[in-house]
A = this chain, B = another copy of it.
Amino acid sequence: MELFHTPEQALQWADANRDRTVGLVPTMGALHEGHLSLVRQAKRDCRLCCATIFVNPTQFAEGEDLGKYPRTLDADLAGLADAGCDAVFLPTAEQIYPPGFSTYVQPPQVASGWESSSRPTHFRGVATVVLKLFHLVPTSHAFFGQKDYQQLCVIRAMSRDLNLPVQVVGCPIIRESDGLAMSSRNRYLDSDQRLRARLLSLALAQADQAIENGVHDVQALQQLMTQTLSAGTVVDAGGATATVPGIPVGGVDSIDYAVLLDADTLQPIEHLQQPFVGLIAARFGSTRLLDNRVWQPVQ
């Protein structure tokens, strides 16, 4: 596995391989099975895979966890090599944002609301660094996890709007055995929070079960998700409310949103007649966790 520390090396490698299909996997390091699944998917779809590890300062706001964001470089490189990654680009912040840097991407409409409500400049930073990486390491494909669903929508819309010659591939969420979506930020959770963190996936599973059972009212489904998150309870097959064995009493500390939206535009919906997504952001102390699930239209 080759390591590139300068933009020139990365571009040279991409240039030398431009006749091959190459999959790019942009990451911020602190890699888990979710990231490694992107590398494996890239290696299935493409001849080569190049990962990038860069903790991007412009997508963090003042007071967020940029400084304490986990850095696990040795383990990251071992994991990438093991997953079959061919090359890793490891730029510094000074290389990506030299003095005088001042051009940003003004992200597409789908960046509005949801994550942007609590992180107003987040997607500007994400879109800008992804565009720069697409130029620095030009590849035929780029792989992103569906876990950060709004981010995936933003990158897809940006790529379409700016005519980027790269195919953006979204990959399924990888979960812990109890259903928690893998995230680099899960390591911030204490043991009590970690048990309650399961409520995000449980809320989505509750909605799924209810849809299966014929509940097609958007408000009712959102209420069900909110109830599972805030009270830590589920509705069983008989319609009774019950606590969940193994989850400490009490729900999440707070809910940022728990909504059903149009899966493409992330606009609110009134019916389930287009592809739709359940989108959740909830907090445990200062840790924010995300989860989501996509459904096909209910006939």
Give the segment of A96-104, A142-150, A205-213, A286-294 that binds chain B: A96-104
Residues of B within 8 A of A18 (CB): 18
B105 near A103: Cβ-Cβ < 8 Å: yes
Nearest CB on B from A11, distance (A): 7
Residues of B within 8 A of A136 (CB): 163
A138 near B162: Cβ-Cβ < 8 Å: no
A132 near B102: Cβ-Cβ < 8 Å: no
A219 within 8 Å of B by Cβ?
no
Interface string of A5-28 (1 = CB under 8 A from B): 001000100000010000000000
B163 near A7: Cβ-Cβ < 8 Å: yes
A164 within 8 Å of B by Cβ?
yes
A107 within 8 Å of B by Cβ?
yes
Residues of B within 8 A of A101 (CB): 161
Residues of B within 8 A of A131 (CB): 162
Partner-B contacts on A (CB < 8 A): 7, 11, 18, 100-110, 124, 127-128, 131-132, 135-136, 138, 157-158, 161-165
